[in-house]
Structure formats: structure tokens, C-alpha cells
Chains A and B, each alone.
Chain A
Amino acid sequence: MTETEARTALVELSGVSKHYGNVRALEGVSLEVHAGEITCVLGDNGAGKSTLIKIIAGLHQHDGGTLALDGEDTRLSSPREALDRGIATVYQDLAVVPLMPVWRNFFLGSEPRKGAGPFKRMDVDLMRRTTRAELLRMGIDLRDVDQPIGTLSGGERQCVAIARAVYFGAKVLVLDEPTAALGVKQSGVVLKYVAAARDQGLGVVLITHNPHHAYLVGDRFVLLKRGTMVGNHTRDSITLDELTRQMAGGNELDDLRHELQRG
């Protein structure tokens, strides 16, 4: 981990803040994403996780602080620009069309074509083959790429979305609560693919409110609370217990325990 410290981060936020009118959504948040590493952003509801994602994904612009991509100071103007710079975001409500086959979904919006003039057509063989191969590379064992994506489980769909982002050349993968709606087993499956993406050299931002999931795969942990950063740790500087305690509200939890005991 020490050698990665020296490298330029793929994405580096320092002291970033964002205001909506007179509402402070984010204040002084710093975060680094390195190739082949997973940076976890933890926080309860309303902590500012979504705002942070939107800034990295190019949906919103930050008001203060700096956002650097590959060490270059940048301001992302649109999701398209973020995508072009290699930042792919997989949102919670996945961008898939349930009734369409997996392979059509995989390439939706970026279909490869062959032929010329009126006979210009999708390269269906290539699309089918690539979908199967890319999913296999992520360790996703799909029965049939022709099945509607809606017949896959939530975890599998999440994995297809991740594989898709990887295939289309993402360098940084931003995952918005990928395990939030999933059961224990499914969550494990998704985390495995997140790790697989990391092993392929991508930098991953994993947004979650589950410290156990975060600690399983994370290299860095950024804790948000009410729009401010309350912690920024590397893996070797914090234990799971400490992370859980801080995430659960730290001293507030102790107070709560105390209160409940008396009640």
C-alpha cells in the first residue's frame, strides 16, 4: 500500500464542498481513488453520499475545493464528460431494460455495427460473444445471454452493470450502494465482482452504509456525517470494530445504549 501512496490518484478530491442554496450538502470532503484499490464512502442517510457521487459522476459541480483526475485539476460539466474521462457510475436503480436480453442490454447505447449503407447492422455475434466473455471474465457464469435481464437476480444485474462499465473502458467505477437491496448471499456475490474489477486495475468508489461490507473489500474508508467528513482512514489504520463504531455514530451509540438500558 505504501508504493501506491506515491502514485498519482485517478481521482482526488480535496476539501470539496457543495451548497444547494443555503443548504450545506457537503463541506471539506477529501478522498483518493487509486488504480487497483477500493475507496469506501460510508455514511448514514443524509450524510452527503449521493451529493458526493453526483460530483464525481459529473451531474453536479462542486462549489469549493478541488477535483483532480490523474493529478489534473478538473471540473466535470456533464455525465458524458465523466464517462469520456473514464468514470463510470452504476446507480442503485440500474440502467437496464428488464424485458430485453442480457446481450442487448450490455451494449445498449453503444452497439457495435458492421456492413455498409442500408445493410449496416448490429454485429450480433460479436455482441453475444463479447457479453458472455466479459461476464465470464468477471466470474459471472450466465446460463444464457438471450434471457431477459429481468429474469436475473438483483445481484446478477448489478454484476452485469459492473461488467458493462469495465468493458467500455472505465478506469474508475463508482458504485452507489450496490448491496443495499440485496440479501446476505447476493451481497457477497456482488462484493466478489467489485473485488474482481479492482483486480483488473480499476479504481473503485464503493458507497455503502454497511461497514462490514466495506471492510471486506475496502482499502480506504471515508466517513461522512451530515455533509462533513468525520474520518478518512487507510485499511491498516483502522479496525472493523472501530469502523463500525464510528459508522454507527461513535459516542452517540454509547449514549443510546445507555439510554436503552435504563428504559
Chain B
Amino acid sequence: MSATDATTADERILQTSPLRKLLGRPELGSVVGAIAVFVFFAFAADSFLRASSISTVLYASSTIGIMAVPVALLMIGGEFDLSAGVMVTSSALVSSMFSYQMTANVWVGVGVSLLVTLAIGAFNGFMLTRTKLPSFIITLGTFLMLTGMNLGFTKLIDGTVSTKTIADMEGFPSARDVFASTITVGGVGFKITILWWLALVAVASWILLRTRAGNWIFAVGGNQEAARAVGVPVTKTKIGLYMGVAFGAWIAGQHLLFSYDVVQSGEGVGNELTYIIAAVIGGCLITGGYGSAVGSAVGAFIFGMTSKGIVFAEWNPDWFKFFLGAMLLLATLLNAWVRKRAEATK
């Protein structure tokens, strides 16, 4: 029986067309969307296709993308992090203020900032898994607390809403090289954040598709109780995902600090939604269990193209929000359709 079954099974697999396979990919919709947006601005704005413009677009995409990647993983794991936006600012503030107040090498501040930011992420994950409250509430709380602490501590320590400059401190040039330098390729400067972004996408894709942890992320987002029943460490996975977001916030925060040399403590509010939107446009299901890291990168790229494309086309930037909203609706509708197809019982 098995022998004949094997051959018939193989025959039937050959019948699955490549198109059907492609349609099953979570990032498909966003890739189509990205091509459409690209072509649109290529015609609408003469300067859009210049190398310098592409560099600007990629830079804008990367600053969103660095956070969209871990936010997408978290969303696949079935949770949100509303504190992601202000956490970037917190991370930059800790780094800057620690170095300045301790008159330490800025790398010490960078290291302390990593620990503190990861701790904030762990706190989010711990609170979520212990209280079993929705992540919306938990991270809304963290969001508000961090927003207050960012401003409060900065005013308390520095007397104003921005930190003191650390440009003349030891280690600043090398830290700037790592987090905020510009690499010139063929006469055009590309920001190093683009590399960080691509590296994060690669690592996140590897984790999702090829490691045990990736299997667990899909499982805790797709059916938490089933995952627990077969022995998946749900708590560990969720805390890990929140710490992943914190790690992204650390990179983005250090970039924020070293692109200038001061940090505005009120920044970051509202960005958490940008990251979530990028992940959703990229094909992540808002209810969890489905999505990809590459998709979130495409989502961030659509964001970058739209925000800069409107400028290149010399339109009123107010239209950006309109485009974004339309894109989000389209993406969500497409996702809902994908989900229905994937979950439908034959």
C-alpha cells in the first residue's frame, strides 16, 4: 500500500503550481504593493530614481525596518508592543546620560543601555506571561511609564528636555562609525543602518524558518494552548520575543544618539504604530501565527518610499498619512483573505 501511495502522493505534489506556492507566501501582497508604489513614484517624481534618492529612501526604510523586524516576530508570536517607539528613545537616553554623568567611555554607556533596554523588554514579557493580561494593556502601561520617565529623568538630570552633547567624549568616533556612519558606494553615501537592517532581516528569517525557536514563535502565536500541550516553553518564547524588540530598540536608539550627539527626550511617541503598520503591510496577521521577517522589511520599504517619494514629487507631505492608511487597509484585507484560505477546511 505504501509504495503505491508514495508515487501517487508525489504525482499530486507536482500538480501544486508554482503560482499557488507563491500565493501562499505571507509577504506576497507587500511585494506587489512595493512594486506598485515604486513604479508610481518613478513616474510621479523625476528625481525618485536617482541613486541619492534611493539612498535616502533606504535610510528612511532602515530606521523603521530595524524595529519592524522584531515587532513582526512578536506579532507572529501573537503579541503587541506599544512601548517599542519610546523604548528607542529610552535606550538612547540611558546610553547618553550614563556616559555623560559617569564621564565614562561612551561604549560603557552603550553597554549599560543594552542591559537596561533588554531589562525593559524582559519586564514586558514577564508581566504579560505572569498576569495573562492582554499585551495591549501591559505595553500601553510601559509606553506611558517610559514616556514619562524619558522626560522626567532628562529634566531632572539635565534641566532641559534634551541631553548634553557627548560628541567630545572618549569612544564617540568609533561608536558613531558603528551606529551612524555613511558608507560610500560608487559616489553615493549609504547609511550603515541599512546594513543593520538587512542583517536583522537575515537573522530573523533564519530564526523563524530554520530554528526550533522559530517553530515555537509560530506555535505560540497560532495556538498557545496547543503549543503548551505539546511541551513548547510558551513563557520563555514570549519573554524572548519582547527582549528581541528591546534589542532592536537598542540599535535604533544608539543610531538616534550617534547620528547627532544629543537626544530629544520627547521623541519616539507614535513610532510604535509605524512599526506595527510596517509588519502588517508586510503580511503579519494581527492575530498572530503567520507572517515573515522579509515581509516586515518590504513593509518598511513601502513606508520609506512613500514618505520620501511624496517629498521628491514635491507634494504636500500631509498626503503621506492618507497613502499609509489606504495601504494598511489594502494589506489587512489581503491578509484576511490569505488567512481564510489557509484555515479553510477542505
Give residues in A with beta carbon < 8 Å to B: 80, 91, 94-100, 104, 107-111, 113, 120-122, 124, 132, 136-137, 139, 141-144, 148, 150-154
Contact = CB atoms under 8 A, between A and B. Distances in A.
Residue of A100, A104, A107, A137 contacting most chain B CB atoms (<10 Å): A100
Given A99-B285, A100-B222, 12 more contacts: A97-B222, A98-B342, A99-B218, A100-B215, A104-B219, A108-B219, A121-B210, A122-B215, A136-B9, A151-B346, A153-B345, A153-B346
Interface residues of B, number: 35
B125 interface: no
B168 interface: no
B9 A122 contact: no
B215 A137 contact: no
9 contacts: A95-B226, A96-B223, A97-B218, A108-B230, A110-B231, A120-B211, A121-B211, A122-B211, A122-B212
B342 A136 contact: no
Interface in B11-69: 12-13, 16
A27 B232 CA distance: 35
B1 A100 contact: no
Interface of B (DSSP majority class):
helix
A148 B342 contact: yes
Contacts of A94: 226
Given A99-B218, A122-B215, A143 B9 contact: yes
Nearest to A120: B211
B8 interface: yes
B131 interface: no
B326 interface: no
Candidate in B6, B223, B285 with the most chain A CB atoms within 10 angstroms? B223
Interface string B317-346: 000000000000000000000010011111
A139 B212 contact: no
B9 A99 contact: no
B342 A99 contact: yes
B303 interface: no
A95 B230 contact: yes
Given A97-B219, A100-B219, A136-B6, A113 B346 contact: no
B343 A151 contact: yes
B210 A108 contact: no
B224 to A, nearest CB: 9
B212 A113 contact: yes
Contacts of B8: 141
Given A136-B9, A139-B5, A142-B9, A97 B227 contact: yes
Nearest to A148: B342
B301 interface: no
A192 to B, nearest CB: 11
Contacts of A80: 231
